[in-house]
Amino acid sequence: MPSLGLGCSSSRVFLGHRQAERPRARPYANAIARKEDSPSTAQQQQEPQKQDPLQIKTSRRAQLLSTAGLLALQVPSHLDASQPPGASSAAQAAGAARQTAPKAENGQGIQALRDPQINRGIATSKQTRRAYHLDGLLPPTHGDLRIEIERAKAALELRSSELEKYQALMALRETNEAAFFGLVAQDITGLLPLIYTPTVGKACQNWSRLLPRPTGLYISIDDKGQIGRVLANWPEEDVRIAVVTDGERILGIGDLGANGMGISVGKSVVYGAAGVQPHQILPITVDVGCNADSVREDPLYIGLRQKRIRGGPYDSLLDELVASLRQRYGTSLLIHWEDLSAANSFRTLGRLQQQGIATFNDDIQSTGAATLASVLGATRLPSVPPLRQQRFLLFGAGQANIGAAQLLQHRLEQEGLSLQDARSRIWLFDRQGIVYDGRKGGSMTPEKAMFARSGSEAGWLEALGNDLRKAVQQLQPTALIGAAAVRGAFSHEVLAQLSQGMQNQRGMTGDVPIVLALSNPTDKAECTAEEAFQACNDRVAFGSGTAFQPFTAADGLEVVPSQANNSFIFPGLGFGCISCGATEITPDVLDAASTAVAASLTQEELQRRSILPDTKRLREVALRVAAAVALAAKTSMVASSENSTVSKILACLPRDSNDQAVLSQAMSCLEPLQYNPLA
């Protein structure tokens, strides 16, 4: 493996200047001094005194945990450890004796046990127990972290419903971070549906009733003008990715307001499971109100009880948030937008991109990249036409399919097609039917207009109406992609027509269609895997946004449906961007991520008719994607070396990015940075 000069090759090499310590210390850096606590001018002019690094790193977290503990006990901070008026002399003597006995400092003892990065249960080392005054607060036995993982697994098996399992997992994450991510790594296939889709959708719907310990930062419209002060309350100093939602369009569910925090937390957990350092991710929910009456009027609702603000005030709030984030965490901070409305998504993304801010919208770009990866993976199956021969009918013209259309167009151009030819292969179908110029029914967004068919075709397109089966019959697409959250939209008749149309086309080098039912959760999926295989006589390349169980097809072959959602894209995309200091997420960077995912398919997976890798390989694929992203960013001149670690990564990365050997070398450059909970 090429040497990075980082001083170690284990997972304890972090992105930044953090170093591994013994005992394991809570990796919080210096606290930001509040204005009211700042020293006088005379004091500022004095030579600063050196402080113990361990004390500096734990002081901020200690203050927060101390306050949290006192609030939980409903004891005002100013009354803590004080004697009530009129206390007896015996009580006063006992109090004096307690004051003379050695006691834990801030950030130690019970406070340390509340810290999920310090607490490892019985796997907490002797050195850490002594350093943090944990003797007696933990059982006297010492064991390996794997024992704690097995204990957590046994506890999880006692829970019956998916939501109860979700609660147990999130409680473990907030208690023992290493055991949580170790457990997830042990069974990523079984646990990903619990910590991510589809269960995270149920968690968001019930968030005001679950309300786990604060696992992210809430910013509201009431914080306008003081977001920097609110942001200073987050204890981590080394944040590299901020996952931000406003809760307006949670999955296929709709407006959940402040309950959308569950989706930011879910994305953050997947980042950690894929190998991004968990402390480097900040989940944020921006509360600007909620337009769903049932949510807003719930007596337990935790958010603002008002309708959403729009327009200038909304944009101004996000601008202040972005500026505050970049001021505290640096200009290379990557901002990941999640589940905003379509209008806010496209406008916010475009505005920030023009300002040169490193940002991406998961619903537009990650979903688009996941769709492209699914198509590229499908073309590796027997009898599926190559990309240049594909004709795409996209059911739904929102963020997901617009993002997919943009990346499909870009890739077709890379394959040698002209812009006009590339767009002619892509059809958008919304609630009114095929999108075309001059269509009745109101205005059209610029993003949708980009793929509108010519007005000269208006006559026969209008005749199709919004009948999807007729559209499939007339257009004869080779790929049907659904992202409209309409359960059953891909009916047996629609799918059978798609399959039949493939048999009738001439000049094709394959006759197997691609079907992607991307909507989630499960009750929003356009069709199930079994429905697609039955309608297409087992000749179909299928992927879905939510997980479906393996099944045996009519021909006797076991089919493992691929989950074609963003989990194979955004973790590696984020990891690669923060590793190389990417300042922009270009189409070439997204294309590289998609290509890396599709190239990760093994022959065994292809034999099971999978179009994407098995989810158990999430960490491996994320590393491959991260390496491809870093190479593409370097080649596209959007990588920057703002600190020594990134500079060394860029120096390690090879210059050429055209073959597997180069990608393997790039992976070896990034592998030391990947989080390992068992390290």
- pLDDT recorded at residue 646: 87
Taking the C-alpha atoms of residue 403 and residue 375, their distance in angstroms, rounded to an integer, is 14
Among 28, 132, 166, 196, the active-site one is 196
205-357 matches 379-567 in fold = yes
Taking the C-alpha atoms of residue 142 and residue 661, their distance in angstroms, rounded to an integer, is 44
Residues 663/624, Cβ–Cβ less than 8 Å: yes
DSSP for 93-144 reads HHHHHHHHS----TTSTHHHHT-TTT--GGGS-HHHHHHTT-BTTB-S----
Taking the C-alpha atoms of residue 81 and residue 66, their distance in angstroms, rounded to an integer, is 13
- pLDDT recorded at residue 252: 78
- pLDDT recorded at residue 661: 84
- pLDDT recorded at residue 20: 37
**Residue 29 token pair:** 């850096």
Which residue is it, tokens 């269960």? 199
Taking the C-alpha atoms of residue 371 and residue 348, their distance in angstroms, rounded to an integer, is 22
N-terminal to C-terminal alpha carbon distance within the chain: 19
* Domain-wise residue ranges, the chain: 205-357, 379-567, 569-673
Bond into 278 cis (ω within 30): no
Binding site for a divalent metal cation: residue ranges?
338-339, 363
- pLDDT recorded at residue 498: 98
Among 165, 267, 448, 524, the active-site one is 267
Residues 590/365, Cβ–Cβ less than 8 Å: yes
Q: Which of 223, 202, 208 is nearest to 297 (CA)?
A: 208
Taking the C-alpha atoms of residue 156 and residue 164, their distance in angstroms, rounded to an integer, is 9
- pLDDT recorded at residue 546: 83
If one counts every other C-beta atom within 10 angstroms of the C-beta of residue 555, the result is: 10
Taking the C-alpha atoms of residue 567 and residue 271, their distance in angstroms, rounded to an integer, is 9
Residues 560/611, Cβ–Cβ less than 8 Å: no
Binding site: residue ranges?
249, 338-339, 363, 520, 565
Q: Which of 314, 297, 317 is nearest to 306 (CA)?
A: 297
Mean pLDDT by groups of 10 residues along the chain of 679 residues: 41 37 36 37 40 44 44 38 45 44 70 93 94 95 94 96 96 95 95 92 94 85 98 96 98 93 97 97 99 97 97 98 97 97 96 96 97 98 96 96 98 97 96 90 84 88 93 97 95 97 83 94 90 96 92 90 93 97 96 97 95 96 97 92 81 77 92 93
Binding site for (S)-malate: residue ranges?
249, 520, 565
- pLDDT recorded at residue 103: 53
Taking the C-alpha atoms of residue 655 and residue 137, their distance in angstroms, rounded to an integer, is 53
pTM of the model: 0.84
- Written out in words, the top-level CATH class of the domain with range 379-567 is alpha beta
Asked if 224 is an active-site residue, the reply is no
Residues 481/392, Cβ–Cβ less than 8 Å: yes
- pLDDT recorded at residue 105: 65
* Overall fold of domain 205-357: Rossmann fold (3.40.50)
Q: Crossing angle of helices 342-354/311-329, nearest 10°?
A: 50
Asked if 329 is an active-site residue, the reply is no
DSSP for 177-213 reads HHHHHHHHHHTHHHHHHHHSTTHHHHHHHTHHHH--S
